[in-house]
Structure 1
Amino acid sequence: MKAERSDDLKLKALKRGHLAEYRAALCLILKGYRIVAMRYRTRLGEIDIIARRGDLIACVEVKARRSFDDAIFAVSSTAQRRIRAASEVWLSRQGDFHRLSLRYDIVAVMPWRWPRHLTDAF
């Protein structure tokens, strides 16, 4: 019984995370970005959203939290290192990598509010 409840909580958290990522992607699209990849995974790390606007690539970490501050502070230095490592792998696989500039953003998704996009977060 306890294992089932634990599995239910994990599934609920996973669904909440995916919904937050879709809300963040919509926010970015409305700001003029094109979503290049979602949940890009490498053995070094994962990037929630890779978005492009012109020659700018935004590697976006999405955090669903109760407040903006909670979301921002939830991105640890370890997570930042993993995102940077994954972004280097992604960038190396792009044919036009020499033209692209890279930026690391956070989108905070809070209940009953429009997502907030913090550019150049780390």
Structure 2
Amino acid sequence: MADKDTLGRAGEDRAARHLQRLGYRVLDRNWRTRTGEIDLVVAAGDVVVVVEVKTRRSDGFGDPFEAVDARKQARLWRLAMEWIAAHPDHVQGRRLRIDAIGIVGADPATGRLEHWEDVA
């Protein structure tokens, strides 16, 4: 596994723990289709949330949230619709939201974590 993949996986693990501490239940991780991948799908109460996780060793190449541009947001919505079609039982009576979590630090377990809700 490449170093970048290891960093990304560690960031996703931390994001999942963060969301679980907030009361979310992880429904899916790294869900893939031909058109892309969803990092995390979580649920709490009346909401299902598709979460994009961006992990960076430093902000030298920009803030992680800069990568969640309009094109990425549109792709996340398309993927969310595909996930819903494949998992209709999980969304009945719930609304859908797209969130992003950015983690910056050499060690994702201790780096700065920001959680932005409703990014798309």
Flag the 1:39–1:45 CA change in 2: closer, same or farther, 3 A.
Answer: same
After TM superposition, the structure 1 = structure 2 runs for residues 58-97 of structure 1, keeping only pairs within 5 Å, are 58-65=49-56, 66-67=58-59, 70-93=63-86, 94-95=88-89, 97=91
What's the secondary structure of 2:63's corresponding residue?
helix
Q: What is the rounded CA distance, in whole Å, between the counterparts of 2:40 and 2:34 in structure 1?
A: 17
Asked if the contact 1:59–1:103 (Cα under 8 Å) also holds between the matched residues in 2, the reply is: yes
Code of the residue aligned with 1:22 in structure 2: it is D
Code of the residue aligned with 2:115 in structure 1: it is H
Flag the 1:96–1:39 CA change in 2: closer, same or farther, 3 A.
Answer: closer
Determine if the alignment matches structure 1 residue 26 to structure 2 residue 26.
no
Considering fraction of residues, name the structure with more strand. Answer: 2
Which segment drifts farther, 43-52 or 112-121? 112-121
What's the CA shift for 1:113? Answer: 2.9
Q: What is the rounded CA distance, in whole Å, between the counterparts of 1:95 and 1:29 in structure 2?
A: 21
Moved >4 Å (runs of 4+): none
Code of the residue aligned with 1:35 in structure 2: it is V
Q: What TM-score do you get using the length of structure 1 for normalisation?
A: 0.82
Q: Superposition RMSD on alpha carbons, in Å? A: 1.7
What's the CA shift for 1:114? Answer: 4.5
What's the CA shift for 1:115? Answer: 1.9
Which segment drifts farther, 27-36 or 110-119? 110-119
Asked if the contact 1:33–1:53 (Cα under 8 Å) also holds between the matched residues in 2, the reply is: yes
Which structure 1 segments of 5+ residues have no match? 1-9
